[in-house]
Structure 1
């Protein structure tokens, strides 16, 4: 659903129009949701909702990969 909204040029969070081509905006200026991030492997800027990096094909980070392991 998020990628479909982005394809229409609207924020998936608040559904307001956003300029996705502006490389300075990684977050929605209206609601603050993250729209772009960077690949952990090649650092290419990519959609925050993409499952894989368009530049190198590396799988995007998952939420579980970002959570510290409490048993360590």
Structure 2
């Protein structure tokens, strides 16, 4: 025969979030947004010249077949 023990688990109501916790969450979101913005800026700086050159080449090719050749 096995001994079975029933353990009582007390469930407590979660405490309402304090203002400081909400403020901390806001700071975390702000840091996340700042990090994403920094990555975007670095990507644009790294790829900017290549993208510009690609558009310039496209413009030249379209200009060859078009009446107006201004880009």
* Pair in the same fold by TM > 0.5: no
More strand by share: 1
Rg bigger for which structure?
Answer: 2
In terms of fraction of residues, the more helix-rich structure is 2
Structure showing greater relative contact order (alpha-carbon pairs closer than 8 Å, 6 or more residues apart): 1
TM-score by length of 2: 0.15
